[in-house]
Amino acid sequence: MTDSKRVTKIKLLKAIDKISGKPLVSLLPRIKKPRKGNSAKFKKILIIRPGGIGDAVLLLPAINSLKEELPDSEIDILAEKRNAEIFGFSKEINRIYLYDMGSGLFKCLKNRYDVVIDTEQWHRLSAVAAYLAGAAVRVGFDTNERARLFTHRIPYSHDDYEVYSFLSLIAPLINSSGVTFDMDKPFLNMEGTPSIDPQSPIIAIFPGASVVERRWGGDRFGKVARALRSKGYRVVILGSGADSREAARIKEYAGDCIDLTGKTDLKGVAAILKESKLLLTADSGLMHIAYAVGTATVSLFGS
């Protein structure tokens, strides 16, 4: 699927959610909170995570903590095609289903889960999917009318770091109240190394962003890349095929950069980021991957 088709599909899903999500939620009966159950009975767990790469990365610590607290549980993921590859990084996940593929969604809903955790913050269709899964325990954020479909409604704030918000979703399922997150410790361990000369320090540049207004532009990135190369750094340009035009502009300024746009999957990108001294990027999913593998970032926010 081309990037333009992928963007169109994302917009279509959001439009469907906006038009039909609220009526669907209102038609379904409100869920009452069950009596407190025994966490030992939570054997089959479904976690729903639509959306992009960034939130998928930031959900991994909660998945790791949940598996640590409930080691005998099986954790399935219902994700979108655009973020599903991230969950392939985790050894704690049993199966991955695709939320935006009808057959994958139906296969997932046929399973019998003890718990469903909807990690979506605002959209409603994921809450409907959580309801249709039929689990006795359904956990989600209390952000709008979607919360009426959950047995456990968790407060959500934009002011909280997303990792902590996701960790709050597993709190009703575990006996321990001591789940912690070390912000200085990488939580995405990559196996293997990229095929780039390790003798030169690497600085990675990602010129893309899912929202056009967030893009800084190939000319500006190119000027920075030229300065970095003059200091002896090796510049690696990351991105999809849609970022190749920006990569070409960067190379016009900086010359001999390693252009990997459209040539690596997310595991390859993560491996390169792990070996990099720094990632220069806009607000993007790759920014979160860099943080997860312990690489510093210079991240540009604006529109």
Q: What is the mean pLDDT of the chain?
A: 89
Same domain? For 148 and 228 the reply is no
26 falls within a domain? no
Q: Does 138 fall in a domain? A: yes
- 12 in a domain, yes or no? no
Quick one: 113 and 212 in the same domain? no
pLDDT score, position 96: 98
The answer to whether residue 184 is domain-embedded is no
Q: Residue 193 domain-assigned?
A: no
**128 and 242 share a domain?**
no
pLDDT digits (tens, 9 = 90+) for 65-106: 999 999 999 999 999 999 999 999 999 999 999 988 879 999
217 plus 280 within the same structural domain: yes
Q: How confident is the model at residue 40 (pLDDT cuts 50, 70, 90)?
A: low
Q: 146 with 58, same domain?
A: yes
pLDDT value for 64: 94
How far, in Å, CA of 189 to CA of 209, rounded? 24
Residue 16, domain member (yes or no): no
Tell me the average pLDDT across 203-225.
91
Does 61 fall in a domain?
Answer: yes
Instruction: Say if residue 61 is in the same domain as residue 133.
Output: yes
What is the C-alpha separation between 249 and 251, in angstroms, rounded?
Answer: 5
Same domain, 166 and 206: no
Lowest-pLDDT range of 41-50, 73-82, 99-108, 290-299: 99-108
With respect to residue 8, please indicate whether it lies within any of the assigned structural domains. no
Domain limits for position 277: 202-300
- What CATH number does the domain containing 143 carry? 3.40.50.2000
Whether residues 156 and 283 share a domain: the answer is no
- Of residues 5 and 190, which shows the higher confidence score? 190
Whether residue 94 is found in the same domain as residue 46: yes
Number of domains in the chain: 2
Give residue-wise pLDDT tens across range 111-132.
Answer: 999 999 999 999 999 999 999 9
For residues 57 and 99, membership in a common domain is answered with yes
